[in-house]
Amino acid sequence: MVSSMAHKCRRSQQQQQTVSLLATVVGLLIGVLVVPRTARRPLAVPGELLLRVSGVATLPLLACRLLLLPPTGRLLAAAFGMQLSASVAALLLAGWAPPSPTTVGPAEPLDWFRNAVPDNLLQTFVSEEGQRGRNTTPETRAQPGNLLGVATASALLGCALARQRGNRALRALLADAGEALTRLLNALLAWACPIGALSLALRAADEETTWWRGTYPAATGVALHAVLVAAMVSAAASRHDLQRLLAALSWPLCVAAVAGSSWHALPAALCALQQQREEPVTAALVVVRCGSALCNMLLLTPTVLQDRGLTQGLLLAAANSLFTVGRGDGPLLYLSGLPPLPGAV
């Protein structure tokens, strides 16, 4: 019975991966050859929204993991150091690039959601300080900013503190609830992957400039990241239930998750952990982080080069990649098929 369910789960994952990869190819072709440029951004909204929601969907798993951790002082310190060091390096790198004229672009449909779910607290703080100096409109002052980010960090910190004190039975109950909720959310999101892949491919096709024909670096980043992640996920088919997998998690993986950067990377890394001897955790995280940074840099570079020189644009692109190191978004989940968490059918 268990073997039959695992076989169905693997087959479902393979189908989702295949359909998502096909949707990506079709989306790039449609975006470049058929869809007018003015229509690409609106059509890309569903993909980015699904992507952001999928990142939040792993939070119950992270929370229940924190509830079951040993003393978390070392974990939280390492996570903070990892996030801070990458952010400071990005700030220094961005500081080498000379300033450019400020341009105000049209508001995008998901701007409010991006502001409410910051990817990097230090980066968001610096951006808000810069905006506050240039624009003091009531809209800017009333922006939701880090509200959801602060609430999330507070909830996770509360879980960490609850591990030190509190009723063991209550902790176990909350952990089970978080596990069940994560399974449900990821199982539902998995079936939305083809839509997300198609939509994100349209967004990639929108990154057109006069430099290097624009579309090609974006397509290169998407394709390379898809191959790397799909290979890693396929090599780690589900064989164990989620509870056993949680028990086998090593603390370096939790450091990456608590840093706030790998909510998106967590499902793929969890799958790789199932074959820990064949697929080391370190290798899995390197693939996810390097793939994310490379894809992000290739997608961003054509945009930042529009009004800047080559050197300045590359510096800013590299700085942005450092800001998002380990975040694992972009095509990670959708091009890998967003496999359901192990044990979810």
- Tens digits of per-residue pLDDT, 121-162? 434 444 444 444 444 333 333 344 344 444 454 455 455 555
Q: What is the pTM of this model?
A: 0.43
Number of independent structural domains in the chain: 1
> Residue 4's pLDDT is what?
62
Cβ contacts of 188 within 8 Å, gap of 6 or more: none
Inter-CA distances, 172 with 58, 145, 160, Å: 18, 33, 13
Q: Which of the residue ranges 23-32, 73-82, 306-315 would you say has the lowest mean pLDDT?
A: 73-82
> Residue 39's pLDDT is what?
75
Does 100 reside within a domain?
Answer: yes
Query: What is the average per-residue pLDDT within 101-108?
Result: 50
Q: Which of the residue ranges 74-83, 183-192, 198-207 would you say has the lowest mean pLDDT?
A: 74-83
Query: What is the average per-residue pLDDT within 105-125?
Result: 48
Percent of the chain with pLDDT over 90: 0
Beta carbons of 261 and 324 less than 8 angstroms apart: yes
Does 138 reside within a domain?
Answer: yes
Does 344 reside within a domain?
Answer: no
Task: Read off the tokens for 225.
Answer: 């990241």
Query: What is the average per-residue pLDDT within 22-29?
Result: 70
Does 185 reside within a domain?
Answer: yes
Does 342 reside within a domain?
Answer: no
Task: Read off the tokens for 119.
Answer: 């990817």
Comparison of pLDDT for 111 and 8, the residue scoring more: 8
For 132, other C-beta atoms within 10 Å of its C-beta total 12
Query: What is the average per-residue pLDDT within 90-116?
Result: 51
> Residue 308's pLDDT is what?
55
Task: Read off the tokens for 134.
Answer: 């240039």
> Residue 207's pLDDT is what?
52
Taking the C-alpha atoms of residue 61 and residue 73, their distance in angstroms, rounded to an integer, is: 19
Angle CA 147–149–153, to nearest 5: 120
Task: Read off the tokens for 263.
Answer: 């909510």
Does 343 reside within a domain?
Answer: no
Range of the structural domain that residue 166 is part of? 2-335
Helix (H) or strand (E) holding 313: helix 310-323
Long-range contact pairs involving 312-316 (C-beta distance under 8 Å, separation at least 24): 312/97, 312/98, 312/100, 315/93, 315/94, 315/96, 315/97, 316/94, 316/97
- Using 50, 70 and 90 to split pLDDT, how confident is the model at 189? low
